[in-house]
Amino acid sequence: MATYQSDGKKLIDVEYDVIIQVNDRVDGMLVLSVDTNAVNEYAVFLLEPNTRVSCYVFDEVFIIGKADSFENLSDAIEAWRAEEI
DSSP 11: B
* pLDDT < 70: residue spans in the chain: none
CB contact at 8 A, 41 and 57: yes
pLDDT the model gives residue 63: 95
Question: Comparing C-alpha atoms, which of 31, 37, 41, 45 is closest to residue 75?
Answer: 45
pLDDT digits (tens, 9 = 90+) for 3-12: 999 999 999 9
* Predicted TM-score (pTM) of this structure: 0.91
Q: Which domain holds residue 57?
A: 3-77
Q: Is residue 70 part of a domain?
A: yes
Q: Is residue 83 part of a domain?
A: no
Task: Give 1's Cβ-side CA count (13 Å radius).
Answer: 8
Specify burial of residue 43 (Cβ count, 10 A radius: 0-12, 13-18, 19+).
buried
Q: How many domains does the chain have?
A: 1
Q: Is residue 84 part of a domain?
A: no
Q: Is residue 8 part of a domain?
A: yes
Q: Is residue 47 part of a domain?
A: yes
Q: Is residue 82 part of a domain?
A: no
Q: Is residue 32 part of a domain?
A: yes
